[in-house]
């Protein structure tokens, strides 16, 4: 699924004009991106949480030459799926496992 | 940031009512959840990719008791930020 499929869904299912649907999808992800860039965490109920993590710099080594190099401090994003979504991803499987366990 | 803040941004950008904006933003996340539930990958250019990984069952161990237990096969969702998002964070 791509951004364009999300736009398509809004047009077909929510009956929103193409142009506005594009702006909506763009706005959703742009605002999430800006929040992360500001260092803000995001919590989307039902989907999950995005957490900005600060990594300290450290002195690393080039494994080939053994030369010491400074690895700079950086920020990364960690995502954790919410419990609802994790359960939904595994719902089919859990039902199948239960059936197998009950031997029917 | 929560969904409410995203809805506010959509409300300000597009000429929909607050109620409509709420429904539309919910629709976007619902569509994403459905795709993930089907095991589909989501690629949002400029933001990142959501990927569903199929994990096989394996034998794990309770670190406290040393007892072996089977960890059932399951699906795990990961997010990989795009290059653009990463450079935004470190720009």
ipTM of the complex: 0.90
Can you say how many angstroms the Cα of residue A31 is from the centroid of all Cα atoms in its chain? Answer: 14
Gap from A100 CA to chain B (nearest CA, Å): 13
> In the predicted model, is pLDDT for residue B30 greater than 90?
yes
Q: How far apart are CA A74 and CA A70, in angstroms?
A: 12
What is the span of the domain harbouring residue A16?
A: 1-40
Q: What is the pLDDT of residues A3-60, one digit of tens each?
A: 999 999 999 999 999 999 999 999 999 999 999 999 999 999 999 999 999 999 999 9
Q: What is the pLDDT of residue A99?
A: 67
Q: Which residue has the tokens 């700079």?
A: A72
Per-residue pLDDT, averaged over B9-22, amounts to 94
User: Is A98 found in the same domain as A68?
Assistant: yes
A75 touches chain B (CB under 8 A): yes
Count Cβ neighbours within 10 Å for each residue of B37-58 and write b for 16 or more, e otherwise.
Answer: beeeebebeebbebbbeeeeee
Q: Same domain for A24 and A66?
A: no
Residue ranges covered by each domain of chain B: 1-39, 41-91
- pLDDT score recorded for residue A93: 58
Look at A28 and B6 and tell me if their CB atoms are within 8 Å.
yes
Nearest CA in chain A to B52: A89
> Is the per-residue pLDDT at A101 higher than 90?
no
* CATH value of B1-39 in 3.40.50.1820, 2.60.40.2470, 3.90.1310.10, 4.10.520.10: 4.10.520.10
Q: Flag if A1 and B9 touch (Cβ within 8 Å).
A: no
17-56 in chain A: CB under 8 A from chain B? 20, 23-25, 27-33, 35-37, 40-48, 50, 52
Domain spanning B41-91, CATH architecture: Irregular (4.10)
| Number of domains, chain A | 2
């Amino acid at each position: 699924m791509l951004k364009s499929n999300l736009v398509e869904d809004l047009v077909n299912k929510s009956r929103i004009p193409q142009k506005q649907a594009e702006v909506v999808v763009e706005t959703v992800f742009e605002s999430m991106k800006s929040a992360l860039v500001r260092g803000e965490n995001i919590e989307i109920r039902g989907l999950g949480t995005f957490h900005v993590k600060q990594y300290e710099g450290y002195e690393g080594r080039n494994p080939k030459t053994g030369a010491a190099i400074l690895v700079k401090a950086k920020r990364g994003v960690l995502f954790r799926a919410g419990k609802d979504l994790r359960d939904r991803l595994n719902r089919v499987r859990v039902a199948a496992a239960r059936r197998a366990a009950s031997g029917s | 940031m929560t969904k409410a803040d995203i809805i506010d941004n959509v409300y300000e950008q597009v000429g929909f009512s607050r109620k409509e904006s709420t429904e539309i933003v919910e629709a976007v996340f619902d569509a994403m959840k459905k795709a993930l539930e089907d095991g589909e990958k989501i690629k949002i250019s400029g933001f990142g990719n959501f990927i569903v990984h199929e994990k096989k069952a394996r034998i794990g161990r309770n670190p406290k008791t040393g007892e072996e237990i089977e960890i059932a096969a399951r699906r795990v969702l990961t997010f990989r930020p795009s290059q653009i998002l990463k450079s935004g964070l470190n720009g």
